[in-house]
């Protein structure tokens, strides 16, 4: 039995690694996801039927409860994932990540009493409990922010000092519990749980909306780390492997996005970037004029271009215009126009959001070009069509030292011959600041809901 269980765990660990590798490419991501899910299923069933210890006993009622819980969780997860709109995917990811942190916290609460006197095991339990709880409460706040239910960052007086003091207190309290567990009441673990929840809330509450992709990735790495501690506790190889993969991947992605924004992680956490209110950066209004373009003129402009670059943003997802943008792409290519998509690392509200959105409409993955590769091409681009993107194309990041996004690498669309921006209104973007690009003489505004406006544009081009 034990040898067969180890084989199940080996299958689980290997499929996790293979699945994660395959998810690095949009063409194989779906298959990689299924392979990882298969490995998880093998590991779970192996644990249920093959794991034996002095504390393990199996009876009909336990099996009913176990498989009943699995069935309920599977049904909820399946239905939720099938029904969720692409615009709500960041919220879903944040909520699912929070549930992973909650599971790690529940393991700590359950196993604490069973491992009193075992210092090494208690260290793993407390670490997993604290990190999982912080991930849980922080992810719930992130969900509320992404869903628009908590729109403004909240900053308490002396927030940095308060938050750092609380973090230090959580660490010291955790060490104290591990060392003095024999002399402490069992309710102490619940006190630590409550303090960790408070810290997770305070950790996420002040962070502005524009930094949510970074925060989601960071909290995801927390959940992975908490799961890894559970793997150490149970000597469970798939749990350990999965936790390490999630934790390390989340950490690397967080650092990569911070690099893409040209900001240290500490500035993301403590800076409350995204809490502005539509000013250019120093509090003054942007002076200048904007010009709009009619659909007939834009159709002619695109139809007779040699090269067009499309910049997708969150507005594209909100309007669910990914299919019509793909139709526009195909129509232009039939007329000899070269079309590419420019993808900024933090476009949308979740890492990879735009890639997934466009893949859903069968846009070829090779046409999605990362920022570093597409920026040198803008000077040879006839028209850049921006659909719902804002902060990632704002020249203030290069020219305005007072701007909160100053220094953030952007898509240098202002170097193209013509720039057309599709927006519903002139409202500020997710970072809460005006976009200087809109006042550039080469830029024209194409107002309207993305799906409706692009549908009219496609119809107009077909008539040419």
- Spatial separation of the C-alpha atoms in residues 214 and 245, rounded to whole Å: 18
The DSSP annotation for 117-157 comes to T-HHHHHHHHHHHHHHHHHHHHHHHHHHHHTTSS-S----T
Closest CA to 135 of 234, 260, 297, 243: 243
pLDDT digits (tens, 9 = 90+) for 245-257: 999 988 888 888 7
pLDDT of residue 74: 92
Structure-block tokens of residue 318:
């909100």
CB-CB neighbours of 328 under 10 Å: 22
Return the ∠ at Cα 371 (arms to 442 and 265), rounded to 5°.
Answer: 115
* The total number of residues written for the chain in this structure: 464
Return the ∠ at Cα 292 (arms to 286 and 298), rounded to 5°.
Answer: 140
pLDDT of residue 277: 41
The secondary structure element, H or E, covering residue 245 is helix 237-260
Closest CA to 315 of 214, 430, 215: 430
Q: Are 86 and 319 in contact (CB under 8 A)?
A: no
Q: Are strands 307-312 and 383-387 parallel, antiparallel or unpaired?
A: parallel
Return the ∠ at Cα 103 (arms to 99 and 104), rounded to 5°.
Answer: 120
> What are the strands of the beta sheet with 307-312, ordered from one edge?
368-370, 338-343, 307-312, 383-387, 418-423, 443-447
pLDDT of residue 210: 61
- Spatial separation of the C-alpha atoms in residues 393 and 373, rounded to whole Å: 15
Backbone angles phi, psi at 98, to 5 degrees: -60, -35
101 Cβ neighbours under 8 A, 6+ residues apart: 131, 132, 133, 134, 135, 136, 138, 139, 219, 222, 223, 226
pLDDT of residue 57: 67
pLDDT digits (tens, 9 = 90+) for 258-287: 776 666 777 666 654 444 444 444 444 556
| Residue found under tokens 């992605």 | 253
Structure-block tokens of residue 217:
């990735």
- Spatial separation of the C-alpha atoms in residues 28 and 286, rounded to whole Å: 45
- Spatial separation of the C-alpha atoms in residues 150 and 386, rounded to whole Å: 28
pLDDT of residue 230: 92
Provide the residue ranges of all domains of the chain, joining segments of one domain with +: 1-83, 88-275, 295-462
Return the ∠ at Cα 413 (arms to 152 and 26), rounded to 5°.
Answer: 75
Low-confidence ranges of the chain (pLDDT < 70): 1, 53-57, 86-87, 151-153, 155, 208-210, 260-263, 267-288, 348-351, 428-432
pLDDT of residue 451: 93
Q: Residue 342 forms beta bridges with which residues?
A: 369
Q: Residue 248 forms beta bridges with which residues?
A: none
Q: Residue 431 forms beta bridges with which residues?
A: none
Sign of CA dihedral 25, 430, 87, 243: positive
Structure-block tokens of residue 194:
């409550």
Backbone angles phi, psi at 338, to 5 degrees: -80, 125
Looking at the domain that runs over 295-462, which CATH code has it been given?
A: 3.40.50.1220
pLDDT of residue 273: 45
- Spatial separation of the C-alpha atoms in residues 5 and 46, rounded to whole Å: 6
- Spatial separation of the C-alpha atoms in residues 25 and 334, rounded to whole Å: 27
The secondary structure element, H or E, covering residue 368 is strand 368-370
Closest CA to 132 of 231, 25, 263: 231
- Respond yes or no: is residue 391 known to be catalytic: yes
Catalytic residue among 211, 391, 414, 434: 391
What is the chain's alpha carbon radius of gyration, rounded to the nearest angstrom?
Answer: 25
């Amino acid at each position: 039995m034990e040898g067969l269980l180890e084989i199940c765990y080996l299958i689980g660990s290997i499929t996790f690694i293979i699945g994660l590798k395959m998810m690095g490419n949009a063409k194989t991501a779906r298959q990689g996801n299924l392979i990882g899910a298969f490995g998880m299923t093998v590991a779970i069933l192996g644990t249920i039927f093959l794991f034996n210890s002095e504390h393990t006993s199996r009876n009909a009622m336990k099996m009913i409860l176990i498989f009943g819980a699995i069935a309920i969780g599977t049904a909820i997860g399946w239905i939720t994932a099938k029904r969720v709109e692409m615009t709500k995917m960041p919220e879903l990811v944040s909520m699912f990540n929070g549930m992973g942190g909650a599971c790690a916290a529940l393991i700590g609460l359950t196993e604490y009493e069973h491992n009193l006197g075992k210092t090494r095991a208690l260290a793993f339990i407390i670490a997993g409990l604290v990190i999982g709880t912080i991930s849980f409460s922080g992810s719930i706040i992130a969900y509320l922010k992404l869903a628009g239910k908590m729109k403004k960052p909240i900053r308490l007086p002396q927030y940095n000092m308060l938050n750092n003091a609380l973090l230090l207190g959580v660490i010291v309290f955790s060490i104290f519990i591990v060392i003095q567990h024999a002399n402490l009441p069992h309710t102490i673990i619940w006190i630590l749980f409550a303090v960790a929840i408070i810290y997770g809330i305070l950790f996420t509450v002040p962070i502005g909306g524009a930094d949510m992709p970074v925060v989601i990735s960071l909290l995801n790495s927390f959940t992975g780390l908490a799961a890894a501690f559970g793997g150490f506790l149970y000597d469970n190889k798939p749990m350990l492997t999965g936790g390490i993969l999630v934790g390390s991947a989340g950490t690397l992605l967080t650092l990569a996005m911070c690099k893409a924004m040209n900001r240290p992680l500490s500035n993301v956490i403590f800076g409350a970037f995204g809490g502005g209110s539509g000013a250019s950066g120093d509090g003054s209004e942007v002076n200048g004029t904007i010009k709009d373009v009619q659909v007939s003129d834009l159709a002619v402009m695109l139809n007779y271009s040699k090269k067009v670059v499309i910049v997708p943003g969150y507005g594209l997802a909100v309007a669910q215009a990914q299919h019509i943008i793909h139709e526009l792409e195909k129509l232009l290519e039939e007329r000899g126009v070269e079309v590419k998509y420019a993808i900024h690392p933090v476009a949308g509200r979740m890492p990879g959001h735009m890639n997934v959105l466009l893949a859903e409409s069968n846009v070829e993955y090779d046409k999605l070009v990362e920022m570093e590769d597409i920026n040198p091409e803008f000077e040879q681009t006839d028209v850049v069509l921006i659909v719902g993107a804002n902060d990632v194309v704002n020249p203030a990041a290069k020219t305005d030292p007072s701007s909160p996004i100053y220094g953030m690498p952007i898509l240098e669309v202002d170097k193209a011959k013509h720039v057309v921006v599709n927006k519903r209104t002139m409202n500020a973007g997710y970072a809460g600041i005006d976009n200087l690009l809109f006042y550039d003489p080469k830029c024209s505004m194409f107002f309207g809901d993305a799906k409706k406006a692009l549908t009219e544009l496609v119809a107009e081009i077909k008539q040419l």
